[in-house]
Amino acid sequence: MLFSHPLVGIFIFEYLIKKGGTLKSNLIRKADAGDANRVAQIHICGWRDAYGNILDPEFLENFAEGERRNHWQSELTVARKDQTIFVMDNQGELTGFICVKLKEDAVWGTYIDSLHVSATARGQGTGKALLQKAAQWIMEKDADSPIYLWVFEDNSRAIAFYQRLGGDIVEQATSEMPFSRGAPALRIAWKSPDRLLEALYESAS
Task: Point out the least confidently predicted range of 4-13, 33-42, 190-199.
Answer: 4-13
Distance between CA atoms of 64 and 47, rounded to whole angstroms? 9
203 pLDDT higher than 90: no
pLDDT band at 122 (very low <50, low <70, confident <90, very high): confident
- Give me the pLDDT at residue 121, please: 85
Beta bridge partners of 94: 89
- Give me the pLDDT at residue 24, please: 58
- Give me the pLDDT at residue 119, please: 85
Q: Which residues contact 150 (CB under 8 A, 6 or more apart)?
A: 173, 175, 185, 186, 187, 188
- Give me the pLDDT at residue 26, please: 73
- Residue with the bigger pLDDT between 32 and 121: it is 32
161 pLDDT higher than 90: yes
Q: Where are the beta strands (DSSP E) in the chain?
A: 28-30, 83-90, 93-105, 109-117, 147-152, 168-174, 184-190
Q: What is the mean pLDDT of residues 186-195?
A: 97
Beta bridge partners of 152: 185
- Give me the pLDDT at residue 123, please: 83
- Give me the pLDDT at residue 19, please: 43
pTM: 0.87
Distance between CA atoms of 52 and 131, rounded to whole angstroms? 24
Distance between CA atoms of 108 and 30, rounded to whole angstroms? 24
Distance between CA atoms of 85 and 111, rounded to whole angstroms? 12
The rounded mean pLDDT for the chain is 89
5 pLDDT higher than 70: no
pLDDT band at 177 (very low <50, low <70, confident <90, very high): confident
Q: What is the pLDDT of residues 50-102, one digit of tens each?
A: 998 999 999 999 999 999 999 999 999 998 999 999 999 998 999 999 999 99
- Give me the pLDDT at residue 4, please: 43
Distances (CA, A) of 53 to 48, 70, 89, 157, 205: 9, 24, 30, 14, 36
Q: What is the pLDDT of residues 106-117, one digit of tens each?
A: 999 999 999 999
202 pLDDT higher than 80: yes
What is the percent of the chain with per-residue pLDDT over 70, rounded to a whole number?
Answer: 87
